[in-house]
A = this chain, B = another copy of it.
Amino acid sequence: MIKVGVIGYGYWGPNLVRNFHEAESTSVGVVCDLDNELLEKVQRRYPTIATTTSLEQVLNDNSINAVAIATPISTHFNLALQALQANKHVLVEKPLADNVADCQVLIDEARERGLTLMVDHTFPYTEAVQKIKSLIDEGELGDILYYDSTRVNLGLFQSDVNVIWDLAVHDLSILEYLLGVKPEAVSATGISHVEGNPENMAYLTLHYPGKMIAHIHVNWLAPLKVRQCLIGGSEKMVVYDDTEVTEKVKVYDKGITVDQSADSIYEMRVGYRAGDMWVPHLHPGEALAEMVGEFARAIREEDTPLTDAESGMRIVRVMEAATESLRKNGEPIGLI
């Protein structure tokens, strides 16, 4: 049984506590937050879980094997580093840190100490994204031509990071999981509508090797909640709509046919192809429970977790570059 200390009981912390509490292979030893009112909530709901405002108390408690960090992004690095130095396995709420250099420090620290360091990127643990992954891996979609995501709603304006770090991070983790290939450059545009605040809407284009492109539209100031993702393949195309209750993944047997005339390589005739549409049944289940299980498995088996820190750092690298491009009005920034 892995005993977890959860740092931060704000927006996401309660979900982590509930899942670590209900999982068979983990328990929650202590919840740490600076806000006593939040700790009282913990006490009412979970009378058997200890609470504290002292980080040291968590880190010094030898019965605690692992620490889960669900605090503001700017604090991820310091908290994770201290936890690693106290020899705890660490799960960090996404993103791993707010810059690549800090990610590298964390990765090195964890590697030297033989500790598990994992990021809570939740989407790869959902049934919907896993179904799309299996469609890609089985060749159902053919070559992947593009990934186009719209992730907008009237959302909380954050003051420490722009909307990329809050919303695009999800698409970047989905892309990491679905494709085994890294983007070569990113171009981003966006705007801040509140003086002195970071950008509240942004558009990212990821340039991949070959004929693949990805685009992510994120916006905290939209009248509608949209979570629509189009994935174009040379054989079939997927529409993934996370706001749908039961029909999240639709597979369209649609595409183009390219006929090359005998006369010239330049004379292409491109025709349509339209066939059936198919909605695979997804078994309901909480992604977070699976994520928690993966964290426990990685610790137990001393194995690399699915959403490991290396992957987390690659995602941070894209967001760092995208933020730079955004300030340069779309100028492409290379990603090594």
Q: Enumerate chain A interface residues (CB-CB to B < 8 A).
A: 47, 145-146, 148, 150, 152, 154, 156-157, 159, 185, 187, 189-197, 201, 203, 205, 207, 211-213, 215, 217, 219, 221-224, 230, 232, 234, 237-239, 247, 250, 252-256, 258, 265-266, 268, 270, 272, 274-281, 325, 328-332
In addition to A197-B268, A328-B332, 7 A-B residue pairs with Cβ atoms within 8 Å of each other are: A146-B201, A148-B217, A154-B254, A154-B274, A196-B268, A276-B279, A277-B279
Are B281 and A274 interface neighbours, CB within 8 A? yes
Contact of A277 with B239 at beta-carbon distance under 8 Å, contacts A159-B268, A232-B221, A332-B330 already known: no
Tell which of B159, B265, B275, B281 touches A253, judged by Cβ atoms closer than 8 Å.
B281
Smallest beta-carbon distance A249→chain B, Å: 10
A-B contact list, 23 entries, CB within 8 Å = A146-B191, A146-B221, A150-B150, A152-B230, A154-B254, A159-B268, A185-B329, A187-B330, A189-B213, A193-B234, A195-B268, A203-B203, A203-B205, A205-B329, A215-B217, A221-B256, A223-B230, A223-B250, A224-B230, A276-B279, A328-B332, A330-B330, A330-B331
Chain B residues in 8 Å Cβ range of A239: 223-224
Number of copies: 4
- Grouping DSSP codes into helix (H, G, I), strand (E, B) and loop, the A interface class, with mixed when no group exceeds half, is strand
Cα distance A219–B330 in the bound complex, in angstroms: 20
Cα distance A237–B207 in the bound complex, in angstroms: 32
Cα distance A252–B153 in the bound complex, in angstroms: 13
Are B221 and A145 interface neighbours, CB within 8 A? yes
Cα distance A168–B154 in the bound complex, in angstroms: 26
Cα distance A152–B232 in the bound complex, in angstroms: 12
Contact of A211 with B193 at beta-carbon distance under 8 Å, contacts A239-B224, A277-B278, A332-B330 already known: yes
Cα distance A222–B201 in the bound complex, in angstroms: 24
Contact of A145 with B187 at beta-carbon distance under 8 Å, contacts A201-B213, A224-B230, A230-B223 already known: no
